[in-house]
Structure 1
């Protein structure tokens, strides 16, 4: 009995040992590196995922990542809260992908820590209004097919664009054709306000819609009047075609005298 108790005691791990294992698992999880990437520890983890043919941002990135390099892949979309657990992230490189959309809240959780964000050489034409809300990072947006209109102007209003590439952020298309091919910042600095143009366009559209509605109502009223006039004319012709009362009375008197 005593020997069996001693055997079970020797097999059962002590609380301190269990605590050590738990701590090690936490540390290993925090530093786990995606298999397709390469990680190095330099006062924080640098995650190198460049040119790995990735279509999505790897999940379960090390929580103490300070640099995340994802350039030259096939990433199309940046989902909401993708980096929310990477509170120490300072540099994020997403250049040379095929990114077409960035969801609102994509950079939530890293807006305070991030210092450099590279979205250059992608397929972006527009962004949600609050994409870069509270972001302090210097941002590269060059070499994207931007559509210059009100929402892009609002996105850029509070953004810190990288000064070295700011003139490479150009209008690929625009609500005003004459600005196609021009740097967005130069257009805005010249005093152009795409939001005013948007409001004018909206006002014109509303005027056209109201005019069309008024024309339809007028056409219906004219049709209704003409239709009623035609019915009245037919009714009058029908009444005229009926025998008059005097003629009927005479015919009746004639018939009475015969009998």
Structure 2
């Protein structure tokens, strides 16, 4: 959801609370129940005066301008993932009667810097609560690296990261001057083992600075609503997502478009049985 749509117990400029659901209407209902201002979160938004569940079924989105991006200008993506997501995007554009527009995103690759900044803040919080540094060994490799890198940040480095994040927000906001909706793959590669490690080479190219999920953090940074919906399966049977990103506070558009795709291309609501 939009940043502030769901109030937080502890304020954060990057964190939003959402829910994994099996259907778009379940997601909309979650927002209807949980959305609204809370006095302990100064950034929380007023309670919407309309039902997201109803809007997901009725909002008129025809004619909205849509742009496709493979990689936001920096992601290292698997060709198969892009191809499957693009096919789903074409179905959505046709079903929702959207107006296709050319989109050339060329955002800066700052995911490693973002992770260091988030890691530094999390390190400080967990140290104050007594979990770190003594229990750092209980974490897996990726969060360990992020926390340890964040712990070494200097004031000057924090300032530089914030400056570059500010530029990223301006650049991304500018893309919505001529576009109402951005559609893209959700992640860069098919699912890997939960135990890790995350792949650093994708499609034969170095992805150490972008990782397997290079695009999602943009919504956290820029406060845009974004929703991932099933787009299809890879040849090996792994699911692929299509990400729909919309302007700030237009959660209703994201939900309606996701719902239209769900109606046009229903996805299974249960995992396949394994022998």
Q: TM-score, normalised by structure 1?
A: 0.20
Q: Which has the higher contact order (CA 8 A, sep 6+)?
A: 2
Larger radius of gyration: 1
Q: TM-score, normalised by structure 2?
A: 0.19
